[in-house]
Amino acid sequence: MRISIVTVGTRMPPWVSQGVEEYSKRMPRELNIEWKELPLAARGKNASAEKLREKEGQQILKAIPSGDRVIALDVRGQALSTERMAEALAQWQMSGENYSLMIGGPDGLSADCLQRAERRWSLSGLTLPHPLVRILLAEQLYRAWTITVNHPYHRQ
């Protein structure tokens, strides 16, 4: 099974890359996490947030592998506990399907991206900076997997 995380923004500080890499490499081979970083749309004085979302949304949708089930990370989405995320991950593994998770740019996800998603998840009611979202998502996917295999990490 593969989980593609399609995210807007390519220049992350080293601490972000290190954190994401650390949790991603801890995942088992049968649960491959693939990160796809896309460039931000050019931001000029006259660029509207809506046009930027649309342009980035087109990139995101093109980067999603055909046949993947899609989930949008959206502050207005359903809040999940770690245990519920673990249940979802276990179901994904049993289905044998691949999944793509979308993380929008600074202006969020386009309407087309939200429409393409079969679910919307919120990692927090707080507004989180995109670099932190990446690490938080990577850690929570790892934690969810540890719950499914009764690994002691979750109980630390």
**Residue 67: what pLDDT?**
96
Question: What string of pLDDT tens digits covers the 156 residues of the chain?
Answer: 999 999 999 889 999 999 999 999 999 999 999 999 999 998 888 889 999 999 999 999 999 999 999 999 998 999 999 999 999 999 999 999 999 999 999 899 999 999 999 999 999 988 888 899 999 999 999 999 999 999 888 775
57 is in an annotated binding site: no
Residue 95, marked binder: no
Q: Which of 149, 123, 145 is nearest to 134 (CA)?
A: 123
Q: What is the pLDDT of residue 104?
A: 95
Domain boundaries, the chain: 2-155
Is 73 annotated as ligand-binding? Answer: yes
* CA 95 – CA 86 distance, rounded (Å): 14
Query: Does 17 count as an annotated binding residue?
Result: no
124 annotated among ligand-binding-site residues: yes
The annotation status of 126 as a binding-site residue, yes or no, is yes
Angle at 121 between CA 75 and CA 98, to 5 degrees: 140
Residue 82 annotated as part of some ligand binding site: no
- Is 123 annotated in some ligand binding site? yes
> For the domain 2-155, what is the CATH superfamily, name and number?
SPOUT methyltransferase, trefoil knot domain (3.40.1280.10)
d(CA 27, CA 144): 10
